[in-house]
């Protein structure tokens, strides 16, 4: 949720900055002249059809004051805008926090490992197992300490799935058990390849 | 009123605080441990201490409520049992702090492993570093004598 909010903040701020730049450029260009023709503000207002926009918006706002489907749409849009604003605020204000797998914590201090290197090492170990053609690992920290490692390996067509599972689990155990990380290994069949 | 004495030859021109001295001592001790490859600053929450213009990457000394300084180390290490390696690093850091007369200032030593290198990755990193050094050397050799900045 929070990573999504951060992406939204980046996207919205980029789009708003582009719009601001374009608007500023248009204003600068149309401020060259002072008349109602040529590059003037009056000409810009005419190009943007501001009169018609004002009438349309005024009419719409007038209908929104009364009960009816437009008022309902407006209420829903307002609610959506509030929610979008809250999401953007969360993405902007919630500090970044690195998700570490805390291996041990005592009076001497804390020992932690980042998720990605742990997953990479686990992948490298799994790919050394005979019969494994591909390995994908995902490590997640636990609530207090330790964590979970989910390993998905693809076996070759002739490899025994149980043998591959046991071998991969054994190799990963040497890495994860001392760190208090629970391991789950899934062995999948090779995907059919059409050439 | 006494005046500050000029730094002796070979001594740093600035007088680092206990916090900075502790950070440097801890990082040097940690990197000296076999199987520790380097310190790493990180991206979001950086472990960097600035010592007189020099960046010490991979270490941060933070004041604790009891008046001591906790050390945060972010290290890249070889793929070895991490508990034992962390204990070794802690022991070396405490020993180095004691030799520097800073043992009373040292609090917790938190260790984060930011990278674990397999033997192949370690060899590849060494080859890349060697290639970079050779390229830099070749580039320096190609420069005409006047451009080398040695005044000759």
Lowest mean pLDDT among A95-99, A137-141, B7-11, B23-27: B7-11
DSSP letter for A190, please. Answer: P
pLDDT at B151: 44
| Dihedral sign of CA atoms B63, B65, B70, B72 in order | negative
- What are residue B136's phi and psi, to 5 degrees? -65, -40
Strands B48-51 and B54-57 come out as antiparallel
What per-residue string of b and e applies to B61-99 under the rule 16 or more CB within 10 Å gives b? beeeeeebbbbbbbbbbbbeebeebbebbbebbbebbee
Chain A's closest residue to B94, CA to CA, is A108
Residue B86 has its nearest CB partner, among A111, A114, A124, at A111
Identify all chain B residues contacting A103, using CB atoms and an 8 Å cutoff: 82-83
Q: With 90 as the cut, is the pLDDT of residue B137 above it?
A: no
- The pLDDT-based confidence of B144 (bands split at 50, 70, 90) is low
ipTM beyond cut 0.95: no
Answer for the pair B75, B113: CB distance below 8 angstroms, yes or no. yes
Distance spanning both ends of chain A, measured CA to CA: 40
Question: Across the interface, do A109 and B82 touch by the CB < 8 Å criterion?
Answer: no
Q: What average pLDDT score do residues A127-147 get?
A: 87
pLDDT at B72: 93
Q: What average pLDDT score do residues A127-132 get?
A: 89
Identify all chain A residues contacting B120, using CB atoms and an 8 Å cutoff: 124
Q: What average pLDDT score do residues A153-179 get?
A: 88
Question: Across the interface, do A110 and B111 touch by the CB < 8 Å criterion?
Answer: yes
What is the spatial distance between Cα A123 and Cα A104, in angstroms, rounded to a whole number?
23
pLDDT at B109: 94
- The pLDDT-based confidence of B143 (bands split at 50, 70, 90) is low
Answer for the pair B38, B58: CB distance below 8 angstroms, yes or no. yes
pLDDT at A195: 54
pLDDT at A193: 59
Answer for the pair B55, B48: CB distance below 8 angstroms, yes or no. yes
Q: Closest Cα partner for B97 from B22, B33, B14?
A: B22
Q: With 70 as the cut, is the pLDDT of residue B5 above it?
A: no
Q: Closest Cα partner for B72 from B46, B104, B33, B34?
A: B46
Query: Testing the interface with A: which of B83, B90, B92, B120 to mutate, by most A Cβ within 10 A?
Result: B83
3-state secondary structure B46-87: CCEEEECCEEEECEEEEECCCCCEEEEEEEEEECCCHHHHHH
How many residues are given for chain A?
Answer: 195
Identify all chain B residues contacting A121, using CB atoms and an 8 Å cutoff: 79, 116, 118
- The pLDDT-based confidence of A144 (bands split at 50, 70, 90) is confident
Q: If you average pLDDT over every residue of chain A, what do you get? A: 86
| Model confidence pLDDT, tens digit, residues A92-126 | 888 776 778 888 888 888 888 888 888 888 888 89
The more confidently predicted of residues B138 and A53 is A53
What per-residue string of b and e applies to B30-47 under the rule 16 or more CB within 10 Å gives b? bbebebbbbbbbbeeeeb
Answer for the pair B61, B23: CB distance below 8 angstroms, yes or no. yes
pLDDT at B22: 93
Q: Closest Cα partner for B58 from B33, B87, B83?
A: B33
pLDDT at A38: 79
Give SS3 for B133.
helix
Q: For the whole model, what pTM was predicted?
A: 0.63
Interchain contact A145–B (C-beta under 8 A): no
Q: Report residue A143 as tokens.
A: 């609530």
Containing H/E element for A185? strand A181-188
Q: Closest Cα partner for B46 from B35, B59, B33?
A: B59
What is the spatial distance between Cα B111 and Cα A105, in angstroms, rounded to a whole number?
10
% of chain B with per-residue pLDDT over 70: 84
DSSP A106-171: ETTEEEEEEHHHHHHHHHHHHHTSTTEEEEEEEEEE-SSS-EEEEEEEEEPTTS-HHHHHHHHHHH
């Amino acid at each position: 949720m929070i990573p999504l909010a951060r992406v939204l903040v980046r996207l919205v701020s980029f789009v708003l900055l582009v719009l601001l730049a374009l608007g500023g450029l248009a204003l600068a260009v149309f401020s060259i002249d002072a008349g109602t023709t040529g590059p003037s503000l009056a000409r810009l207002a005419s190009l943007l059809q501001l009169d018609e926009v004002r009438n349309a918006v005024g009419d719409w706002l007038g209908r929104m004051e009364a009960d009816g489907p437009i008022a309902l749409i407006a209420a829903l849009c307002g609610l959506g805008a509030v929610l979008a604003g809250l999401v953007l605020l969360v993405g902007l204000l919630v500090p970044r926090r690195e998700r570490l797998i805390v291996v041990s914590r005592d009076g001497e201090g804390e020992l932690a490992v980042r998720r990605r290197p742990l997953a990479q090492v686990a992948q490298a170990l799994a790919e050394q197992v005979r019969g494994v053609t591909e390995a994908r690992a995902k490590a997640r920290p636990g609530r207090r300490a330790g964590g979970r490692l989910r390993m998905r390996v693809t076996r070759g067509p002739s490899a025994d799935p149980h043998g591959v599972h046991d071998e991969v689990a054994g190799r990963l155990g040497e890495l994860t058990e001392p760190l208090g990380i629970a391991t789950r290994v899934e062995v999948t069949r090779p995907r059919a390849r059409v050439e | 009123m006494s005046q500050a004495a000029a730094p002796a030859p070979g001594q740093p021109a600035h007088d680092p605080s206990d916090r900075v001295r502790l950070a440097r001592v801890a990082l040097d001790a940690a990197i000296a441990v076999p199987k520790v490859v380097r310190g790493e600053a990180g991206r979001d929450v950086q472990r960097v201490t600035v010592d007189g213009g020099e960046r010490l990457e991979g270490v941060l000394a933070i004041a604790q409520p009891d008046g001591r300084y906790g050390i945060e180390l972010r290290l890249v290490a070889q793929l070895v049992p991490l508990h034992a390696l962390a204990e070794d690093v802690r022991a070396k850091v405490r020993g180095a702090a004691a030799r520097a007369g800073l043992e009373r200032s040292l609090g917790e030593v938190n260790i984060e492993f930011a990278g674990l290198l397999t033997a192949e990755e370690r060899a590849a990193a060494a080859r890349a570093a060697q290639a970079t050094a050779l390229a830099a050397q070749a580039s320096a050799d190609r420069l005409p004598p006047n451009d080398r900045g040695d005044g000759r």
